[in-house]
Each structure stands twice: as C-alpha cells, then as structure tokens.
C-alpha cells in the first residue's frame, strides 16, 4: 500500500515549478479555475500510471518552450517487500525524513525507505521514465521499474464516467479486486458454431450473386473449392477481450448505464475494496454529477472521515459542499505567481476552520474582500450590478465575505495567510484593531469610511439631497412611518421628527447637517435597522447610490473608486 511523499513538477503546462508534500489521506486541491489543479493530477498519472508511452505536444510545455524539458518527480513511500528488494532496486532506495520533507540519498533508521520515479519529456516529445538516485548516476547506471511493479504503484482514476472501471478491461479496478480472470473464448466458439448453422442459409440468399462470382473465378483459376462456396461465420475472426465482459444488473442492463453520480459512487467503493492493490486514487471535480448528500457519501467512502484512511486521494473541487465537509488539514489552496505554484495547507487553527465553514465559496476565488458587515457586502454588490457596462468584480475572481463586525480583521488575516490577495472594507465608528497594522504590513489593503462614520452615516452625509430623499422614502416603505419617526426622535433627542424631515426634503429642498447626522444614526438602530442586510443594501446600491454617485461628495466617491480599482486589478 504505497503513499506519495513528495511531488515535484517543472515546466509542465501552466506550471513552471511546483513542489508538494501531500498528506497520507485525502488531499483536496482548491482555488480558482485555471490555477493548475487538474494539471497536477495529470502529472501524477503520467509519472506513475501503468503505461509504456504517452502522447505529448508542444502545448504541454510551460509557455510552449520546448527547450526546457518537462520533469515530473514523485517520491513513493510505504513500499512493499517487492519494491524494497535490494537486488532489484538497492542502488535506488533513498530515505524520506518526514520532519522537514527532505529526501536523502542514504536511508537510515530515522527515515522511511522510498523510491523516486522521474518522467522527462524533451523536445522530441518522447517520454522517458526512470528511477533516480545520485549513487546510480555516479556509476552511470539507469533503471526502470519492472512492469509488475509499475502496475503495483499505478494510481486509479475516478473519472467522470465509470465505463472503464465497470468491465474487466486493462487497468480496471475490477481486475484489482482478485486474481480471477474470465475466459470468453470457449463460449465464443460454441456461439460461433450455432450461429454458422443459422446464418448459412440466409447468407446464400443475401450474398448469392457474390458467391457465384467467387465460384466462377475459382473454377477458372483452378482453385479447389469443392464445387461450392458458402458464406459462414468464422469464430476465430471474432475476439472477445476482457473489456467485453462487463457488469450488468439483475435485468441484464449494463451498469455503465447508471447515472453519473451512481457510477462514481460504485467505482469509489470498488477502489476502496481494492486498496491493497491500488491505494492512490485521483478524482478531478469530485462533485460532478452528485447532489450534496451524495458528495458527502463519496467523501466518506474515500476515507475522508477516518483517522487512518485506507486510500491516499488526490482530488480537485469547486464545490463549497466539499470545502465544508473536509478538515483544514485536508484542504490545499493552490496559488500561483508567474508560473511558480504553491499548495498552502489550510491548517486547523480556529480562525481558518471558522472561515472555511462560514465562507467556503471564498476559498474558490482569486481575491477576497472582507466587508465589516452584510450592509457593505450589499452595497458593493449593488454598485457592481449598476455599473454593468464595465466588467463585474466576479470577472476578476473577487469574492465578497461578511466579516461579522469585530472579527473582520481576523477573517481577512486568515485568507491572507493562505496566500490570497485580500482587502478589508470597514466602518470608522470605532478605532481600528491592532491586528490591522500587521494585515497592512503583509500587503493587505484597507478601505474605510471617514471618521467617525459607519456606512449608513456616510451615505446620509455624502449623497445629494435627491438620493437622501430616495433613502428616506425607501425606509418608510420598508419600516413604516411610525417606526421611522420613533427612531428619528430617539436619535435626535426629540429635536427632529418625521414632519420636520419631510419639510426639509420635499418643501425646502435643503437638508441640514444636523438632520443628516440624525438620519444616519436612526437608520442603524440596533434593534431594527433600516438597511442592514445584504438584500436591502444591495437595493440601495443599485437604485440609489449608483444613479446618484456622480453627485455625491468627492471623499465618498474617491474611496469607492479606489475600492473598485482594487477589485478590477489582475493581481
């Protein structure tokens, strides 16, 4: 039962360099699309798969530079006796030190015995597999794994379809369940004899003209055919391989006709049953074809919840369901900059675990904007929709996260630690947290309203009177005039009432600074705020702030413009 200890990939597709020390159980690669997740699975399969050749093209080289060879090296541990055979592989046995992930040329009592397989592809596109070690290289020796040993370490694929694993074809998981093999040749011969008897008479009628021509030609050329030629089935011309022997249900329906999700679940169960033969499984887009409850079942089948998992699984996903179900130690965020890829293990700290459970979708984006509360999330979303003529922030992979007030900085720092590009959007009604200094020093961006404003204060103070009138009207529609009046009286110490605000807005067409301050404070009433939800503030952003943006005070416009510039950056 083998385990992959170290994976190194150089100059393969979009990956210039990648080094990874995966865990012994389930390893889930997450991150935005086109980050290289599927390429890593393909690299593992190409290096360790039981194949004698593989097709490569110029597009498989990093930036199509064929002068830099593709190199994939995988160090394999938990070797069985055959792979540790000194006569066969003694010069190539190395040591793996788990404490720091180092691979040593001379294994000792404190190291695990391992083998390293290297796949190299030069500009001639011919793949070369070999075992590597400095000792063998010093003697000018090269060695491949024996074919039987390649079969032993070859990973299994849990593909989008179960066809290849639901029949007894080469590489199928069914062939790994036992040493039993079916021989269809005898049955085919019997079937051929029966078919010859039934087919002969029909063929005489269907092929009579051709048969007469054959007979005439044979007679003319003196070819002995016994005075007659017949069209009969030749049993030896029909072959049935293992791939033609497939699983069927009780009604005789092939199991390859199962739904996509059912087929994947069945194959996953078979992979687990065959774990002693194939202990490494690759799964691309594990959620494909599965409802959430079946995703959970598949993860359980693959050993995700077990302290001693039977399989080492490498999977990719874009599903928040998968992120929620796995622990931080099983999740690796794949990030890349200029072709250099890094797999950040999410870890099990409270900040990270809480962030994963609460905002799993954010781990699937490129950049994260942590907003202090739901109202900030709604405002940015509303403005993004209003400015539909320019690219949406989602186009650039930006995910908005509700930081839940006081924990916003901690949420931002948790994403930052995982290699994400992160910004923080906060109110200024309370002093910034000390952690904000560390966040900014590590490259984080902070956007904030003017002191001492929360978002609602900023809107009522910055927007033109036409927009303030719309906010006031929306508040009355949502909360009712009595409640809005009560909140206003409370916020102003009974100095301002609903009729007074109505006079300023609709008659005088001038609103005082005192009224703006009171409206901001009233709108964020702690028990029943006017707009403090994603949905409500999204409507405000789309129908009021967006149309009135050009008329707003410059300080507000400048901060919002900077915020969207950050979102539209391709960092």
The pLDDT, as a whole number, for residue 298 is 87
Q: Which residue has the higher pLDDT, 306 or 220?
A: 306
- Neighbouring CB atoms inside 10 A of 130's CB total 15
Q: Is the pTM of this model over 0.85?
A: no
Q: How many domains is the chain partitioned into structurally? A: 3
N- to C-terminal Cα separation, the chain = 42
Is the omega angle on the peptide bond into residue 452 within 30 degrees of 0, that is, cis?
Answer: yes
Asked whether residue 431 falls in the same domain as residue 532, the answer is: yes
Asked whether residue 497 falls in the same domain as residue 435, the answer is: yes
pLDDT tens for residues 349-399?
Answer: 877 777 888 888 898 889 999 999 999 999 999 999 999 888 999 999 999
User: Residue 98 phi/psi, 5° resolution?
Assistant: -65, -30
Please state, in angstroms and rounded to a whole number, the distance separating the CA atoms of residues 435 and 529: 29
Read off the pLDDT band of 50 (50, 70, 90): confident
Read off the pLDDT band of 212 (50, 70, 90): confident
Helices and strands in the chain: count of H runs, count of E runs: 21, 17
- Biggest CA–CA distance in the chain, Å, is 124
Helix (H, G, I), strand (E, B) or coil at 235: helix
Asked whether residue 305 falls in the same domain as residue 451, the answer is: no
438 strand-pairing partners? none
CATH of the domain at 63: 3.40.50.300
31 φψ region: left (φ > 0), alpha (ψ -120 to 50), beta (else)? left
Q: Which two tokens stand for residue 189?
A: 């011969």
The pLDDT, as a whole number, for residue 387 is 96
Asked whether residue 193 falls in the same domain as residue 325, the answer is: no
Helix (H) or strand (E) holding 148: helix 147-153
Task: Note whether 185 and 265 are within 8 A (CB).
Answer: no
The pLDDT, as a whole number, for residue 372 is 94
pLDDT at 22 over 90: yes
User: Residue 424 phi/psi, 5° resolution?
Assistant: -120, 130
- Neighbouring CB atoms inside 10 A of 61's CB total 21
225 lies in some domain: yes
Helix (H) or strand (E) holding 261: helix 260-273
Task: Note whether 358 and 336 are within 8 A (CB).
Answer: no
Q: Which two tokens stand for residue 404?
A: 């839940």
- Name which of 63-67, 239-243, 511-515, 530-534 the model is least confident about: 239-243
400 lies in some domain: yes
Helical segments of 480-526, H only? 481-492, 498-502, 513-523
Asked whether residue 457 falls in the same domain as residue 545, the answer is: yes
Instruction: Report how far apart, in Å, the C-alpha atoms of 1 and of each of 24, 83, 155, 447, 481 are.
Output: 11, 11, 11, 52, 71
The pLDDT, as a whole number, for residue 195 is 64
Q: Are strands 70-77 and 398-402 parallel, antiparallel or unpaired?
A: unpaired
Read off the pLDDT band of 192 (50, 70, 90): low
Please state, in angstroms and rounded to a whole number, the distance separating the CA atoms of residues 413 and 240: 61
For 423-446, what is the mean pLDDT?
94
* End residue of a domain, out of 317, 349, 381: 349
Asked whether residue 381 falls in the same domain as residue 484, the answer is: yes
Tokens 């001492």 belong to 452
The pLDDT, as a whole number, for residue 67 is 97
Asked whether residue 58 falls in the same domain as residue 108, the answer is: yes
Tokens 């609602």 belong to 456
Asked whether residue 386 falls in the same domain as residue 454, the answer is: yes
What are the contacts of 494-502 at 24+ separation with CB within 8 A? Answer: 501/472
For 164-187, what is the mean pLDDT?
65
Asked whether residue 287 falls in the same domain as residue 319, the answer is: yes
Q: Which residue has the higher pLDDT, 477 or 52?
A: 477
Helix (H, G, I), strand (E, B) or coil at 90: helix
Asked whether residue 264 falls in the same domain as residue 384, the answer is: no
Read off the pLDDT band of 52 (50, 70, 90): confident
Give the domain range for residue 531: 366-571
For 30-54, what is the mean pLDDT?
92
DSSP string, 446-466: EEEPSTT--HHHHHHHHS-HH
354 lies in some domain: no
Asked whether residue 126 falls in the same domain as residue 17, the answer is: yes
Please state, in angstroms and rounded to a whole number, the distance separating the CA atoms of residues 34 and 565: 23
Asked whether residue 447 falls in the same domain as residue 552, the answer is: yes
What are the contacts of 218-226 at 24+ separation with CB within 8 A? Answer: none
Please state, in angstroms and rounded to a whole number, the distance separating the CA atoms of residues 469 and 154: 69
Q: How confident is the prediction for the chain on average, in pLDDT?
A: 87
């Amino acid at each position: 039962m083998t385990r992959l200890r170290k994976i190194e990939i150089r100059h393969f597709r979009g990956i210039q360099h990648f080094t990874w020390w995966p865990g012994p159980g389930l390893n889930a690669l997450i991150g935005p699309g086109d980050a290289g997740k599927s390429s890593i699975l393909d690299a593992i399969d190409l290096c360790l798969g039981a194949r004698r050749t593989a097709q490569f093209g110029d597009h498989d080289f990093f930036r199509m530079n064929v002068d830099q060879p593709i190199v994939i090296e995988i160090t394999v541990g938990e070797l069985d006796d055959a792979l540790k055979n000194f006569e066969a592989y003694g010069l190539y046995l190395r040591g793996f030190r788990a404490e720091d992930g180092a691979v040593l040329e001379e294994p000792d009592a404190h190291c695990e015995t391992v083998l390293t397989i290297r796949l190299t592809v030069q500009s001639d596109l011919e793949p070369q597999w070999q075992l590597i070690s400095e000792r063998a290289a010093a003697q000018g020796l090269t060695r491949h794994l024996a074919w039987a040993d390649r079969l032993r370490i070859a990973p299994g694929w849990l593909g989008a379809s179960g066809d290849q694993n639901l029949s007894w074809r080469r590489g199928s998981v069914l062939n790994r369940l036992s040493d039993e093999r079916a021989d269809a040749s005898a049955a085919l011969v019997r079937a051929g004899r029966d078919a010859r008897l039934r087919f002969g008479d029909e063929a005489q009628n269907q092929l009579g003209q051709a048969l007469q021509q054959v007979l005439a030609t044979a007679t003319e050329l003196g070819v002995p055919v016994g005075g007659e030629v017949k069209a009969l089935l030749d049993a030896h011309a029909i072959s049935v391989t293992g791939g033609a022997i497939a699983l069927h249900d009780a009604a005789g329906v092939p199991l390859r006709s199962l739904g996509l999700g059912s087929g994947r679940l069945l194959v996953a169960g078979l992979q687990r049953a065959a774990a002693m033969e194939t202990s490494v499984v690759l799964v691309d887009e594990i959620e494909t074809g599965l409802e959430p409850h079946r995703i959970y079942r598949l993860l359980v089948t693959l050993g995700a919840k077990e302290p001693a998992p039977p399989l080492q699984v490498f999977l990719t996903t874009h599903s928040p369901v998968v992120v929620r179900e796995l622990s931080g130690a099983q999740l690796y965020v794949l990030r890349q900059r200029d072709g250099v890829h890094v797999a950040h293990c999410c870890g099990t700290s409270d900040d990270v675990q809480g962030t994963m459970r609460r905002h799993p979708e954010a781990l699937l984006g490129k950049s994260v904007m942590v907003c202090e509360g739901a109202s900030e999330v709604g405002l940015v979303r509303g403005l993004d929709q209003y400015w539909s003529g320019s690219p949406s922030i989602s186009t650039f992979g930006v995910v908005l996260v509700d930081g839940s007030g006081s924990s916003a900085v901690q949420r931002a720092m948790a994403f930052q630690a995982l290699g994400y590009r992160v910004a923080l959007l906060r109110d200024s009604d309370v002093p910034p947290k000390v952690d904000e200094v560390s966040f900014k020093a590590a490259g984080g961006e902070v956007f904030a309203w003017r002191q001492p404003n929360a978002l609602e204060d900023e809107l009522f103070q910055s927007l033109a009177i036409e927009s303030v009138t719309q906010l006031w009207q929306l508040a009355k529609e949502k909360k009712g005039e009595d409640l809005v009046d009560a909140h206003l009286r409370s916020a102003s110490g009974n100095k301002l009432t609903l009729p007074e605000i109505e006079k300023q807005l609709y008659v005088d067409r001038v609103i005082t600074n005192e009224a703006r301050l009171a409206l901001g404070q009233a709108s964020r009433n702690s028990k029943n705020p006017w707009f403090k939800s994603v949905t409500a503030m999204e409507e405000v952003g789309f129908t009021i702030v967006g149309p009135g943006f050009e008329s707003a005070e410059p300080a507000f416009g400048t901060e919002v413009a900077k915020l969207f510039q950050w979102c539209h950056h391709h960092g």
